[in-house]
A and B are shown apart, each in its own frame.
Chain A
Amino acid sequence: MKTIAVYSSKGGVGKTATTVNLAFTASRDGYRVLLCDMDSQGAASYYYRIKPKKKFNRSRLLNGEFYDFIRGTDFPLLDLLPAHFSFRNLDIAINDERKEEKRQVLASLLVPLADQYDYVILDCPPNVTVLSENIITAADCVVVPVVPTTLSLLALEQLLKLCKKVGCKKKKILAFFSMVERRKLMHTSIMKKYRSYPIFMQSYVPFMAEIEKMGMYRRPVGSSPRKSVASQAYELLWQEIRERRLS
């Protein structure tokens, strides 16, 4: 089992859209996938129309009693652990753990899933806390959506610093340009400058109404019978992630 975290400390860069669509693409390729919605806003759960069961909360998650709360999506091989409102304080709860175990909480929770799934994909909240440290430690690969803007690049830089602090290899991190609008000069010039950096993937995801409308239709872009540009972009992204970090 491999763990992929979709992470950026900056909000609004397309993390949830990426998680939702990567998870769908991987499952359609025949892999058993679990999407963990770690963001208390629950956007990924919303896209898949999944609500948490009443008895689910942060304590159950941290006590390792969350397996009965995993729910099947509408798509074969793809399950989802929904977010819960109490996840907003997940970092505080983790902070209460013993110092030496603090960064391993999430990783040890995922260990028992190894026989059940080929990939666990984490949708992460946009902040830099002990939860972020846990996510980076647990992941085999951290996928970072970067909108071609200065602030978004700053967030990537911040992540690299965090990585160094927690003692993780920088190689884990794979960035890609997200919500790209080619008509914007700033987007094209930033992409031109940074795309050749090894941390960046060649695949990128354009800004598209179809992706924005996911909130309306509440389903991944690849799930409609017609193959769309957006779904192809996520397919290419998934292939590149697999080739570069997961093979």
Chain B
Amino acid sequence: MRITGLEMKQLRKNMFSFPHGDGFESLLRRLSKKFIIEDFSHEVTHRVYYDTFDWRLHRANQVFFSSGGALHLEQFNGQGLAVAAGRRRSKFFWWDIEEGELVERLKENIEMRALCPIIELSTEATQFRIMNKDRKTVARLAVRNDRLGEQTSELPELIIVHEIRGYEREFDGIVEHCLKRRCSEVKNKRLFDRLLSNSDLTPRDYGAKFRVDLDRDISIGGAVSRLCLRLVEDMQKNHAGVIADIDSEFLHDFRIAVRRTRSLLSLLKKILPEAQCRYFQEEFRWLGTVTGPLRDIDVYLLEKDKYLNMLPAELQDGMSSFFEQLEVRRNGELRELQSHLGSERFGKLITDWKGFLTDPDSEIFKGSRAQNCRDYVDQMIVKRFKSFIRDGDRISDASADEELHKLRIKGKKFRYLLEFFKSFYDEKQMSSFLKYMKKLQDNLGDFNDLSVQQTMLGAELGGLKAKNLQTIRFAAALGGLIAVLSDRHRAVRNEFESTYADFTGPEIKKLLRVMVNGSL
């Protein structure tokens, strides 16, 4: 008989956690009655683990760390993905690392986000050979002591038994000894999981996805309180990152939380207590305004390569000074924003807002706000959808751009409404509806972005005075960009009609009818 395929047995690696004390020493004493034991390596290593604020690597089941002058990207199971030279830093962007596989793999997941240190680990490890009477190694044993950051207490001592092919009996014997000696087997062999569970970190505790689960019988006031507390929490989580200017997305997420809050206040303004609602609307509008200029600059800087690629090589040079100026302008805007976010006005807004949302005597829980939220939201969704369709149907090829912008804002508000209350509805149906919505919103969003960019570049061009060759080059580059953007603007506008027709088809109306259990 001949075998045509072969699956060699996977070598086993069992881990045991020992209470500190002489547990391990006693195990060695026991084993030395049967085997010859020799330590052959002892090393102390340091690692710093990094991830983005929203755990993008963790979400991709990857681990990134710096150790011994190199940067490593691994899978959760310890399998290496890429390595590059690099020393530890307070934060990394992918563009801070030398080009190569590591950069390619990182940028796919982290995009523009910074990798920040999350765990510092010092490890002291000793390896032992377990040998038979011929001095042949029949198993390997490692003992490691891990210490996290500044913590003075170590993690429980870890014993790792490695099997050597063909010496199964010896491996089983050693494992049996470990189990007899008060040590518990560690089932999850992923080191990173072990570190996380011993730290005060909660993986994936922050993400850009918005979901608040509301009880079906919650009151309007209760729902608004839950939703807005989650949003203010998002603002507070991102606040430090904006002030420290860690990466552009802290401000982006901060602004989204502000925009969502404003949207909710506006959607429910008829039912919310008027005076307070007006005050908070005013203050959140202020917050939206003061955070705007820095974000506008960030958008340009993030898209720098895209802009340059729109231009032929001979015009690209002219844009470089523009981006340099933007960097300078950004520093000024950042300082301005830092002072706003550190101001008394901001502090008062957050305190007042949280008080309004949590105080049991708050107006938000009284009067008509005590009625059932789900019923009210059902009606609101139908009303908003009808109004959106009414406006959308009126748009023709001859309509002004302004009409499309208004529709975009209305659509955005409607989408936020669905996202706030999506836990009331069938998850599958809601996500299918939101998918239709997103396609249309993307078209309208692109149209708006292209309008804003053209206007901004046009204003830049209008303010130029032809002093020197550099200015002329810049003007030529701006002209080139405006021409490209204008072409795209037209193309996106032409796509609107078919995208809108898809959204208003009978299928989506049927879907909405089923969701809100009513007629349209």
Q: Which A positions have Cβ atoms within 8 angstroms of B? A: 48-51, 53, 63-65, 67-72, 74, 79, 108-109, 111-113, 115-116, 218
Contact = CB atoms under 8 A, between A and B. Distances in A.
A112 B2 CA distance: 9
A74 B5 contact: no
Nearest to B166: A71
A68 B9 CA distance: 8
Interface in B24-48: none
B1 A64 contact: yes
Nearest to B164: A72
A230 B135 CA distance: 23
A44 B134 CA distance: 15
A170 B11 CA distance: 40
A65 B4 CA distance: 11
Interface in B5-19: 5-6, 8-9, 11
Contacts of B137: 74
A69 B166 CA distance: 6
B134 to A, nearest CB: 5
A120 to B, nearest CB: 13
Interface size bracket, B side: 10 to 19
Nearest to A46: B134
A109 B2 contact: yes
Contacts of B167: 71-72
A74 B129 contact: yes
B3 interface: yes
Interface in B112-150: 129, 134-137
Prevailing SS type, chain B contact patch: loop
A53 B136 CA distance: 14
Contacts of B5: 112
B136 A67 contact: no
Contact of B2 (A64, A67, A70, A74): A64
B166 A49 contact: no
A72 B129 CA distance: 13
Interface in B451-502: none
Contacts of A79: 165-166
A49 B8 contact: no
Interface string B288-309: 0000000000000000000000
Given A50-B136, A51-B134, A64-B1, A72 B6 contact: no
Given A69-B166, A72-B167, A112-B5, 11 more contacts: A51-B134, A63-B1, A68-B9, A70-B166, A71-B165, A72-B165, A79-B166, A108-B2, A112-B3, A116-B6, A218-B135
Contacts of A72: 11, 164-167
Q: Name the 3 nearest CB pairs between A and B, nearest first.
A: A71-B166, A112-B6, A49-B136
Nearest to B1: A63
A49 B4 contact: no
A125 to B, nearest CB: 22
A67 B1 contact: no
A113 B6 contact: yes
B156 to A, nearest CB: 28
Nearest to A80: B166
Contacts of B165: 70-72, 79
The residue among A48, A67, A108, A116 with the most chain B CB atoms within 10 A of its own CB is: A67
B118 to A, nearest CB: 32
A67 B8 contact: yes
Nearest to B3: A64
Nearest to A116: B8
25 contacts: A50-B166, A63-B1, A64-B1, A65-B3, A67-B3, A67-B6, A67-B8, A68-B166, A70-B165, A70-B166, A71-B165, A71-B166, A72-B11, A72-B166, A74-B136, A79-B165, A108-B2, A109-B2, A112-B4, A112-B6, A113-B6, A116-B6, A116-B8, A218-B134, A218-B135
A74 B164 CA distance: 9
Contacts of B166: 50, 53, 68-72, 79
A151 to B, nearest CB: 35
A46 to B, nearest CB: 9
Interface in B204-231: none
B361 to A, nearest CB: 70
Nearest to A48: B136
Contacts of A67: 3, 6, 8
A50 B138 CA distance: 10
B181 to A, nearest CB: 26
B215 to A, nearest CB: 55
A111 B134 contact: no
Given A109-B2, A111-B4, A49 B134 contact: yes
A67 B3 CA distance: 10
Contacts of B2: 64, 108-109
A94 B491 CA distance: 77
Contacts of A68: 9, 166
Nearest to A219: B135
A245 to B, nearest CB: 25
A72 B135 CA distance: 14
Nearest to A101: B2
B78 to A, nearest CB: 16
A67 B4 CA distance: 12
Nearest to A115: B6
A72 B216 CA distance: 62
Contacts of A53: 166
A235 B134 CA distance: 27
A82 to B, nearest CB: 9
Nearest to A53: B166
Contacts of A113: 6
A63 B129 CA distance: 34
A107 to B, nearest CB: 11
A104 to B, nearest CB: 10
A80 B477 CA distance: 68
A51 B129 CA distance: 18
A94 B8 CA distance: 25
Nearest to B169: A53
Nearest to B136: A49
A63 B3 CA distance: 8
A68 B165 CA distance: 9
B320 to A, nearest CB: 45
A226 B2 CA distance: 44
A109 B3 CA distance: 7
A153 B378 CA distance: 97
A101 to B, nearest CB: 10
B135 A49 contact: yes
Contacts of A109: 2
A27 to B, nearest CB: 13
Contacts of B4: 111-112
Contacts of B129: 74
Contacts of B135: 49, 218
The residue among B3, B4, B135 with the most chain A CB atoms within 10 A of its own CB is: B3
B170 to A, nearest CB: 11
Nearest to A108: B2
A49 B6 CA distance: 26
A33 B227 CA distance: 61
